[in-house]
Amino acid sequence: MTDAVGSIDTPDAQDEVSESKKRARKGGKRAKKGPLKRLATFYRQIIAELRKVVWPSRNQLTSYTTVVIFFVAIMIALVTVIDYGLNHAAKYVFG
C-alpha cells in the first residue's frame, strides 16, 4: 500500500537526513552562551517585543477602564443578589 509520498513501510530519504542532523546537534546556540548572555538576550527580546505593541491612546484607555469598572460593578451586584436570595432560601428551608 502506498501513499502520495511513497511506501508506508520505508521511511523517506529526507526524514533520515533530518534525523541525523538532529542527533549531530547537541546544544545548538544555547550551549555556546553563558547564563548572563542568555539573560541579556532575553531582556533585549522583551524590549523588542514591547516596541511592537500598539499602545492605546488616552481616550481608548479611559473608555476601556470605564467598561471594565462598569462590568465589575454589574457582576458584584449580580453575585450580591444571588447570595442574598440563596441566604434567604437556606433560612426558609432549614429554619
Say what the pLDDT of residue 33 is: 78
Say what the pLDDT of residue 16 is: 54
pTM (global) more than 0.85: no
Say what the pLDDT of residue 32 is: 73
Say what the pLDDT of residue 46 is: 95
Rounded Cα distance between 65 and 58, Å, is 10
Residues 6+ positions from 9 with CB-CB distance below 8 Å: none
Say what the pLDDT of residue 75 is: 98
Say what the pLDDT of residue 8 is: 60
Q: What b-and-e string marks burial along 44-53, b requiring 16 or more CB atoms within 10 Å of the CB? A: eeeeeeeeee
53 phi/psi in degrees, rounded to 5: -70, 135
Say what the pLDDT of residue 95 is: 81
- Residues of the chain predicted below pLDDT 70: 1-31
Helix, strand counts (H, E) of the chain: 3, 0
